């Protein structure tokens, strides 16, 4: 019996999406769905929810909870990772509150930026620990990483964990549909191509019957910018740099030095930037869980419609050998994106079939897009360097290379802020030298 292991299964909503999808996929019937979480209560909730779904889906998959991670992983063919280390309280609070003292404001803090750096630093050791388990009990498994910060964690799992990993995010598949919806354009027959790095991949080409749609997209976007809307940062980036980005405006606001600027406080209003968005969402979700729990866990009529998350489609393609295309995060080995560093993790179209995830070759990005990617890759690679060498100086380097952090703070403030964050993390971080 083949086995899919879900690490972090206590994330019930996400587990519902991924494993609910799996239970509706004919080629995956009969699989064991192995659940693991360090939060046993949430684990049990998810198990119960999935048992409900199993019935309403008429699935022959087996649902099983594990309290030992290695047992959960043993013999797995596929692994889905959705862990979060440190949680909202205390770690996310720390990620936002300490920088705020230095005048550094953030929106999401899960990719790069000072929050992204520390999210990586506390997550990488756990990931490499999982990698050690995998190498022991299921070395051939395919590891689907959904945990953020995507690029660095995926890089760590491949480069230092030695695990067959692809990083997944749904920003690629919803990019054009949502953009077109927001601009009221029909997507029928539209061709698009996306590549770059996670959360900053580029809609390189969008056309229909050989006609470039960008001029019309930009015309409508410019019009739309006249009024407030939730995607203003991304539109502005497109209007300035020529290409649309996969990740949302609230994310992109902090990837660049252009939007959250103490010298230009009016930009927050003008570009409709939701500072502290992520902690606000966390609080809401925690609140919402109380009612949602009822709907999910104790609802014997719980239903599910197959989502657009890649996981079940990847498993299906690997089981059936019917090709499926994803935007996957893989190492830039050999220079798939020729003008980005080889040691970076990139997001490129990948072919999936029985041979697994096979990245395609892209070549050069337009130079301004490669340049923007490189500013973020700088911080990514230095964060990874910090995590694997456990040298404090590389944490400072990562922060000093972050475009937003370095635009706002002096080097001394950056160092002091990092030291404060290290101290506040306590045992959530290993000892740095």
Q: Which residues bind a second copy (CB under 8 A)?
A: 103, 140, 191-193, 205, 210, 236, 240-242, 256-258, 261-264, 267, 321, 323-325, 333-336, 338-339, 341-343, 349-351, 353-355, 358-361, 363, 367-368, 370-372, 374-375, 377-379, 381-382, 385, 393-394, 396-397, 400-401, 403, 406-408, 410-411, 415
Helices (H), 107-191: 113-137, 150-159, 171-183
Instruction: Let me know if 299 is exposed, middle or buried by CB neighbors in 10 A (0-12, 13-18, 19+).
Output: middle
Helices (H), 138-191: 150-159, 171-183
In this complex, which beta carbon is closest to a second copy, that of residue 218 or of residue 293?
Answer: 218
Active-site entry in 170, 304, 305, 394? 170
Min dist CB 393 to a second copy, Å, is 7
In this complex, which beta carbon is closest to a second copy, that of residue 220 or of residue 325?
Answer: 325
Min dist CB 410 to a second copy, Å, is 5
| H-helix or E-strand spanning residue 211 | strand 211-212
With CA atoms as reference, report the closest residue to 86 among 421, 432, 350, 357. Answer: 421
B/e letters for 324-337, b = 16+ CB within 10 Å, e = fewer, are bebbbbbbbeeebb
The 3-state DSSP class for residue 403 equals helix
Helices (H), 7-102: 12-23, 40-57, 69-73, 93-101
Min dist CB 363 to a second copy, Å, is 7
In this complex, which beta carbon is closest to a second copy, that of residue 62 or of residue 333?
Answer: 333
Min dist CB 356 to a second copy, Å, is 9
Kindly report the number of other CB atoms within 10 A of residue 244's CB atom. Answer: 25
Min dist CB 92 to a second copy, Å, is 26
In this complex, which beta carbon is closest to a second copy, that of residue 210 or of residue 426?
Answer: 210
The verdict on whether 170 is a catalytic residue reads yes
In this complex, which beta carbon is closest to a second copy, that of residue 101 or of residue 354?
Answer: 354
Helices (H), 188-272: 214-224, 232-241, 249-252, 266-270
Question: What is the rounded CA–CA span in Å between residue 413 and residue 336?
Answer: 37
Task: Please name the residue that has the structure tokens 């990719």.
Answer: 111
Question: What is the rounded CA–CA span in Å between residue 289 and residue 70?
Answer: 29
In this complex, which beta carbon is closest to a second copy, that of residue 22 or of residue 104?
Answer: 104
Min dist CB 325 to a second copy, Å, is 5
Q: Which residues are catalytic?
A: 170
């Amino acid at each position: 019996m083949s086995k899919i292991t879900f690490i972090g299964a206590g994330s019930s909503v996400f587990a519902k999406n991924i494993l609910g999808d799996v239970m509706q996929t004919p080629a995956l019937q009969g699989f064991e769905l192995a659940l693991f979480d360090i939060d046993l209560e949430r684990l049990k909730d998810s198990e119960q929810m999935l048992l409900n779904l199993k019935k309403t889906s008429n699935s022959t998959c087996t649902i099983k909870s594990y309290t030992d991670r290695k047992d959960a992983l043993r013999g797995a063919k596929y692994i889905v990772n959705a862990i979060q280390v440190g949680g909202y309280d205390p770690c996310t609070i720390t990620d936002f509150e300490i920088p705020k003292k230095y005048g550094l404001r953030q929106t999401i803090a899960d990719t790069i930026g000072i929050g992204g750096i520390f999210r990586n630093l506390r997550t990488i050791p756990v990931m490499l620990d999982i990698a050690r388990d995998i190498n022991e009990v299921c070395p051939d498994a395919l590891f689907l990483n959904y945990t953020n910060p995507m690029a660095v964690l995926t890089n760590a799992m491949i480069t230092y964990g030695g695990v067959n990993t692809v990083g997944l995010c749904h920003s690629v598949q919803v990019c054009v549909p949502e953009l077109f919806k927001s601009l009221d354009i029909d997507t029928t027959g539209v061709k698009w191509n996306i590549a770059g790095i996670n959360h900053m991949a580029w809609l390189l080409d969008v056309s229909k019957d050989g006609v470039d749609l960008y001029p019309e997209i930009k015309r409508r976007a410019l019009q739309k910018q006249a009024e407030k809307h939730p995607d203003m940062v991304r539109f502005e980036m497109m209007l300035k740099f020529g290409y649309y980005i996969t990740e949302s405006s609230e994310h992109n606001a902090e990837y660049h030095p252009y939007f959250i600027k103490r010298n230009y406080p009016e930009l927050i209003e003008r570009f409709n930037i939701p500072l502290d968005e992520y902690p606000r969402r966390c609080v809401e979700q925690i609140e919402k869980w109380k009612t949602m729990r009822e709907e999910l866990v104790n609802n014997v009529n719980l239903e599910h419609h197959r989502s657009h998350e890649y996981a079940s489609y990847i498993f299906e393609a690997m089981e059936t050998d019917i090709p499926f295309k994803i935007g996957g995060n893989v190492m830039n080995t050999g220079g798939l994106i020729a003008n980005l560093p080889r040691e970076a993790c990139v997001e490129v179209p990948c072919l999936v079939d029985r041979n697994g995830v096979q990245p395609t070759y892209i070549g050069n990005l337009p130079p301004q897009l490669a340049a923007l990617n490189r500013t973020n890759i700088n911080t990514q690679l230095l964060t990874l360097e910090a995590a694997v060498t456990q040298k404090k100086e590389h944490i400072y380097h990562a922060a000093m290379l972050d475009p937003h952090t370095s635009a706002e703070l002096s080097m001394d403030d950056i160092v002091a802020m990092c030291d404060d964050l290290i101290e506040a993390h306590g045992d959530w971080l290993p000892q740095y030298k």
